[in-house]
Amino acid sequence: MHEKRLANLLGAAALAVTDEMVHGAVRAAQLNASQVTALVVLRGEAGLSVTELAKRIGIHQTACTRLVDALQDRGLVERRQTVGKWTHVHPTEAGRQAAEDVLHARGHSLLRVIERLADDERRALVDGLEKLLTGLYDEIGSAERICRMCDRPACTSSGLTCPVGAAERAHQREPQG
């Protein structure tokens, strides 16, 4: 096996698939990639602080503040005051619909990518991706970060188990210290 070739092919495929997925999602919502990601994250868990949202989408807190301002200006999110000075970000109905549109476009793009594979190739790809994602969780340590653009029910419906969620639960069960 040519490991360097395999790694290079994986890198090229990952970048091309990411481009396809992000381009479709961005086009569907008429937003930038960070804004799209924020809406999908908030769709899954409304009421995050700006700091937590920034952590989950992988941007600096000040950049996330500007991102939330832009989404709020477009009527896609709203800030709600909680205890003291704390505010949490919630998607509006328009924001939830935009997130749904994004996930639909993302799914459509990804389904187009895998339609080239035969059933046995798809099964092998699922097995390989489950192992890769479990290993990536061990390195990254955040299911929220890895799965920030996921259509979560796609990995958890019909008795399926998300490999990232399973890795996180296994990590939490390990004795600390």
Q: What is the pLDDT of residues 130-171, one digit of tens each?
A: 999 999 999 988 888 888 888 888 888 888 888 888 888 988
| Ranges in the chain, pLDDT < 70 | 1, 176-177
Torsion of Cα atoms, 82 then 84 then 88 then 90, to 10°: 40
Map out the domains of the chain with their CATH numbers: 1-116 (1.10.10.10), 118-177 (no CATH)
pLDDT score recorded for residue 39: 95
Give the chain's mean pLDDT.
Answer: 90
What's the confidence (pLDDT) of residue 92?
Answer: 97
Total number of residues shown for the chain: 177
Angle between helices 119-140 and 163-173 (to 10 degrees): 40
With the CA atoms of 97, 101, 102 and 106 taken in that order, what torsion angle do they form, in degrees rounded to the nearest 10?
150
Look at residue 1 in the predicted model and tell me its pLDDT: 62
pLDDT of residue 117: 95
pLDDT attached to residue 177: 59
* pLDDT number for residue 125: 94
Identify the pLDDT of residue 176.
66
